[in-house]
A and B are shown apart, each in its own frame.
Chain A
Amino acid sequence: MVEPKDEVPLNHSNATPVLHEVLHALQRLATLDEPTTIDLRAIPFGPGDEDALLSQLGTGEVKIELDTLGKSTIWETAFSGVWIIDHQNAESERIALQIEVAHVPAIIKAQTEDVTESLQLLDNQLNPNRTETTGLREE
């Protein structure tokens, strides 16, 4: 390898076009309430570009950790509504890195089917001796 680290440029300026894409996505969220997801794995970044992008986006006030099929870290950037989603597998290797421009990242919301199952589970826990499948009132 002939490129000493101190002589490699900090980035190859590929972060700037992505930031413009984020700007347009933020406009769509603000005016049309339309979310956008950008897959950073599909962007041809050179050395330093990803760090430059994440550095320019900064960090905001929310950080969330998700533990399913490995760890996922989700944080809001310094720009409200712009989230970084870093999915890792069980071996702590990155399997996806995305920018999601949304009020709340879609994966954070409780999924309807899981909510239905939780309802049944909690009901069973509170009423372990009940023989009927559910004691809850039908709405």
Chain B
Amino acid sequence: MADDMKRFTQTLGESLRERGVSRRGFLKFCTATASMMALPPTMVPAIAAALEKARRPSVIWLSFQECTGCTESITRSHSPSVENLIFDHISLDYHHTLQVAAGDAAEAAREAAMHENEGKYIVVVDGSIPLDNPGFSTIAGISNLQMLEETVAGAAAVVAVGSCAAFGGLPHADPNPTGAVSVSDIVHDKPIVNVSGCPPIPTVITGVLAHFLTFGSLPELDALGRPMVFYGQSIHDRCYRRPFYDKGLFAETFDDEGARKGWCLYRLGCKGPMTYNACATTKWNEGTSWPVESGHGCLGCSEPDFWDAGGFYNALSIPDSDIIRRAGVVAAAGVALGAAAGALNRSTRAKAAASHEKVTIDDLDKTS
């Protein structure tokens, strides 16, 4: 108990030194943290000064209508020593998949964390919230809606992890049989960060938590509530295959000459131009690769309603090769095509939505 209290009162700098980490090691830790937060290396001294004084915040992680892919992602994040240090300095007080306690004991831990850290704790949510019937998803007999509302009431901020929590995700896809909604559809009086993706990149999840730990505030957000440092640029603009797009060189099938030469996957349905995420730079699996590098187009999983975008292998639009190959108009053509792609995509989504009929529980019973 005394050790637990000490961990709560110690700053991160004090705790690291007690564990024998030198200032040089601390500097390495700050460098990796800056890189993880996608902040420029010039920020390292500021991060070091802030982390030196940082104290561990309480985190309550709520899982609603989800597949546990987001938790799988974060537990497989590829820099464990640094991220473990981050997690050592975040008090993860409730996570019903990871914690040992279950039932009443688990709920008591959540309530104790809420009570002891009133106004200061972070709520992380993965999964969407069903509104059609509270019984569709419950934890310890408590509906997702009730648990979310009572837990965020005393929170400092909410982090919606994954496209389900951020935008409704797969449960929200047509015909949305549970009436699934996102966190921001319910919570209106707390700061919310959307860390979208199906799943999100693990270092993006920890990067947001590290930002709060470091600066005690949330990072700058885009129009969809996502951190600008990770979602500020489109996949298309950061893609190493972008020069092929600009030259009008496209793979037409997954096994043609263009595919073998690593040309642009736009015509094979890549949603890179309408997708904002950090995959092109952060990559996956210890920085090994990412979908486009593996030869498959981006699915657009960090965007709202990506399941209903009209087909993963349907091109957003077909660029006019004759136009974009003409010297001098390449850049202008790229901008125009991007706009056309966006308009066509919206139209495709509207058609896809219109062609679906809502399925009821009775319908499911009939077919089973």
Residues of A within 8 A of B (CB): 1-4, 7-9, 12-14, 37-39, 41-47, 49, 66, 68-70, 72, 87, 89-91, 93-96, 98, 106-107, 110-111, 113-114
Contact = CB atoms under 8 A, between A and B. Distances in A.
A7 B251 CA distance: 14
Given A2-B259, A41-B281, A44-B280, A72 B28 contact: yes
A1 B293 CA distance: 10
A93 to B, nearest CB: 5
Interface in B263-295: 280-282, 286-287, 293-295
A47 to B, nearest CB: 6
Interface string B288-319: 00000111000000000000000000000000
Contact of B28 (A7, A44, A87, A94): A87
A98 B44 CA distance: 13
Contacts of B28: 66, 68-69, 72, 87, 96, 107
B238 to A, nearest CB: 4
Nearest to A68: B25
Given A44-B239, A72-B28, A111-B22, 5 more contacts: A66-B28, A69-B29, A87-B28, A89-B32, A114-B23
A93 B133 CA distance: 46
A14 B287 contact: no
A45 B255 CA distance: 23
B255 A37 contact: no
B261 A7 contact: yes
B82 A9 contact: no
B240 interface: yes
B240 A111 contact: no
B40 interface: yes
B119 interface: no
Given A96-B35, A107-B27, A111-B22, A47 B293 contact: yes
